[in-house]
């Protein structure tokens, strides 16, 4: 009897055959196979220094600025420190250690937090006083009013995107239009929730531009195949492609979503990362309202995060989504879903309010804040240029400039011999390339196949985040590897 009981129990164990098949299907390339190989190599280096032809792993696979030594913005961290440990405010030394405006801001924020407790749950949508501040910041940015009740504070933009996909997708027949290449969180979540990704391809030959005719064609194709397309994702500035949309392109996209009754999901987490003088960021909400479209004309969700910009506070997990054009019934369901998470972490909520309401003219921190911001953004622009020039100097590689965001997405034209070697290794050619690069240099890139790309083309994504004193060495190591790779497989 004992052995039979044991056998019965073993048949009920969780296996890859019994878990949700959608989990097996989705991939998240930014932290995929290459990333796990990099972690293994790092462990080997720590256990046995000198065991590889490099002395450190450079994680150029992910937009994680502080991991590359970028310092936090002083004003933001001062306010956070004071809010998290309010007793500091009562100490006589505090005025000599903290700026007057950071002290004032911390006191204002603490007055908005019930019990002045950053360790307590908040309202599930986020602290009302902080949502008021964020709404005011959106109004200053756009020139149009924002309703704090339309703002949901989240642990970074990711959970907000999770929530929307959960809300929208009920079966494989539900489609979401996504740019290709795209940030792989979208493809992962669409697969996880059992929907269908409907691709629209960005035009690499035109600086990764957006062609509305391509979007229309893909919608028509999907509809003819019985897919109910519910929403369109746009990432501006682009990830992984680094382009900044023109206002004319944005207007076309807004008009298209209005005419087709599509929910517009606007990923705007890189809104502070624009590096070219001839372009600037415009939020899709601002564009829609400037066209005269109101709540009854178009449904729109805007995502923002504290992880990017010049602040780069990835570990603080702060962000928001602003929802407009939703019926009261849908708003009620959205609020119900958000209650599952209790609330976003409170320090992340505070930081989100700070990025939308930084020091102003006349504040003690204003000049130092502007200096820190300018230093980071101008350095990122120079680093992008260094890498772009290096990639364009390499045989068989072409790279559009980074107008914004934190990445370059060069195209690889690989010899037939390399493609055959990748097939023999059962790897996509660009994954084969970046794995060999990692083994030779310790530099972690993400293969373009993880983001989606036109059939028969190969790319990789590289962050522009290595510090300036290392960026030329990174470019040189990739260039040297590429030369050897081409010599081997040409």
pLDDT at 33: 83
pLDDT over 90 (residue 110): yes
CA dihedral 362, 320, 264, 136 (to 10 degrees): -30
Q: What is the mean pLDDT of residues 222-232?
A: 98
| Among 79-88, 117-126, 216-225, 251-260, the least confident range | 117-126
pLDDT at 11: 62
pLDDT over 60 (residue 79): yes
Confidence category of residue 26, pLDDT binned at 50, 70, 90: confident
How crowded is residue 262: how many other Cβ atoms within 10 Å of its Cβ? 20
Confidence category of residue 32, pLDDT binned at 50, 70, 90: confident
Say if residues 210 and 253 touch (Cβ distance below 8 Å): yes
Q: Is the pTM of this model over 0.75?
A: yes
pLDDT over 90 (residue 383): yes
pLDDT over 70 (residue 314): yes
Cα–Cα distance, 29 to 452 (Å, whole number): 10
Dump pLDDT digits (tens) for 433-443: 999 999 999 99
pLDDT at 5: 52
pLDDT over 60 (residue 6): no
For residue 422, the SS3 value is helix
Judge residue 415's burial from the number of C-beta atoms within 10 Å of its C-beta, 0-12 exposed, 13-18 middle, 19 or more buried: middle
CA dihedral 430, 435, 438, 440 (to 10 degrees): -100
Cα–Cα distance, 477 to 485 (Å, whole number): 12
Confidence category of residue 339, pLDDT binned at 50, 70, 90: confident
For residue 209, the SS3 value is strand
Phi and psi angles of residue 386, each rounded to the nearest 5 degrees, phi first: -60, -50
Question: Which position has the higher pLDDT, 205 or 25?
Answer: 205
Q: What is the mean pLDDT of residues 20-30?
A: 72
Q: What is the mean pLDDT of residues 58-83?
A: 94
How crowded is residue 12: how many other Cβ atoms within 10 Å of its Cβ? 8
Average pLDDT, the chain: 93
Where residue 408 falls (left for φ over 0; alpha for ψ -120 to 50; beta otherwise) is beta
Closest listed residue to residue 41, CA positions, set 56, 30, 28? 56
pLDDT at 150: 95
Q: What is the mean pLDDT of residues 346-352?
A: 96
Dump pLDDT digits (tens) for 112-128: 998 888 888 898 899 99
Say if residues 312 and 296 touch (Cβ distance below 8 Å): no
Structure tokens at 116: 């002045």
- Region(s) of the chain under CATH 3.90.1150.10: 21-57+370-489
- The strand pair at 446-447 and 458-463 is best described as antiparallel
Structure-token match 């065991």, residue found? 51
Dump pLDDT digits (tens) for 411-452: 999 999 999 999 999 999 999 999 999 999 999 999 999 899
Confidence category of residue 342, pLDDT binned at 50, 70, 90: confident
Q: Could you tell me which CATH number the domain at 21-57+370-489 has?
A: 3.90.1150.10
Q: What is the mean pLDDT of residues 348-366?
A: 97
Q: What is the mean pLDDT of residues 324-348?
A: 88
pLDDT at 263: 98
Say if residues 352 and 319 touch (Cβ distance below 8 Å): yes
Burial 166-185 (b: 16+ CB within 10 A, else e): ebbbeeeebbbbbbbbbbbb
Confidence category of residue 36, pLDDT binned at 50, 70, 90: confident
pLDDT at 333: 87
Closest listed residue to residue 313, CA positions, set 286, 338, 350? 350
**CA distances for 197 relative to 171, 184, 226, 263, 442, angstroms:** 12, 11, 13, 15, 33
pLDDT at 10: 59
- Helical H segments across 212-318, by residue range: 212-224, 247-260, 284-290
- Region(s) of the chain under CATH 3.40.640.10: 118-356
pLDDT at 307: 96
Q: What is the mean pLDDT of residues 23-52?
A: 82
Q: Does domain 118-356 have CATH number 1.10.150.20?
A: no
Confidence category of residue 138, pLDDT binned at 50, 70, 90: very high
**Share above pLDDT 90 across residues of the chain, in percent, rounded to a whole number:** 81
């Amino acid at each position: 009897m004992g052995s039979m009981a044991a056998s019965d129990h073993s048949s009920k164990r969780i296996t890859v055959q019994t878990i949700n098949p959608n989990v097996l299907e989705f991939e998240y390339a930014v932290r995929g196979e290459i990333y796990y190989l990099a972690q293994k190599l790092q462990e080997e280096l720590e256990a046995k220094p000198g065991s590889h032809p490099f002395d450190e792993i450079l994680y150029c696979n992910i937009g994680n600025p502080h991991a590359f030594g970028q310092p936090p913005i002083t004003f933001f961290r001062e306010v956070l420190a004071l809010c998290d440990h309010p007793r500091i405010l009562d100490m006589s030394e505090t005025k000599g250690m903290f700026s007057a405006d950071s002290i004032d801001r911390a006191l204002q924020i603490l007055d908005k937090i019930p019990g002045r407790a950053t360790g307590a749950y908040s309202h599930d949508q986020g602290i009302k006083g902080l949502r008021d501040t964020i709404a005011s910041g959106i109004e200053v940015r756009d020139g149009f009013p924002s309703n704090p009740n339309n703002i949901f504070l989240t642990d970074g933009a990711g959970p907000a995107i999770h929530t929307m996909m959960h809300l929208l997708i009920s079966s494989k027949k539900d489609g979401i239009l996504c740019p290709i290449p795209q940030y792989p969180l979208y493809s992962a979540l669409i697969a996880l929730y059992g929907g269908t990704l409907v691709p629209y391809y960005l035009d690499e030959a035109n600086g990764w531009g957006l062609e509305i005719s391509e979007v229309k064609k893909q919608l028509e194709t999907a509809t003819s195949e019985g897919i109910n397309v519910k929403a369109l994702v746009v990432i501006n500035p682009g990830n992984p492609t680094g382009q900044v949309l023109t206002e004319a392109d944005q207007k076309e996209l807004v008009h298209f979503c209005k005419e087709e009754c599509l929910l517009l999901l606007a990923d705007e987490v890189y809104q502070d990362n624009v590096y070219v003088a001839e372009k600037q960021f415009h939020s899709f909400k601002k564009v829609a309202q400037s066209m005269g479209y109101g709540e009854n004309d178009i449904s729109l969700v805007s995502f923002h995060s504290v992880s990017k910009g010049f602040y780069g506070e990835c570990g603080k997990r702060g962000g928001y989504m602003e929802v407009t054009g939703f019926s009261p019934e849908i708003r009620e369901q959205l609020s119900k879903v958000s209650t599952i998470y209790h609330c976003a972490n409170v320090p992340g909520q505070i930081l989100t309010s700070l990025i939308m309401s930084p020091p102003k003219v006349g504040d003690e921190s204003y000049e130092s804040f502007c200096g820190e911001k300018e230093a980071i953004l101008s350095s990122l622009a120079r680093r992008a240029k260094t890498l772009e020039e290096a990639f364009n100097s390499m045989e068989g590689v072409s790279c559009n400039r980074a107008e914004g965001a934190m990445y370059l997405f060069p195209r690889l034209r690989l010899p037939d011999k390399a493609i055959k070697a990748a097939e023999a290794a059962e790897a996509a050619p660009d994954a084969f390339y970046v794995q060999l690069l990692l083994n030779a240099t310790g530099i972690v890139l993400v293969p373009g196949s993880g983001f989606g790309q036109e059939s028969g083309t190969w790319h990789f994504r590289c962050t522009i985040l290595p510090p300036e004193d290392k960026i030329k060495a990174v470019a040189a190591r990739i260039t040297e590897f590429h030369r050897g790779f081409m010599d081997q497989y040409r």
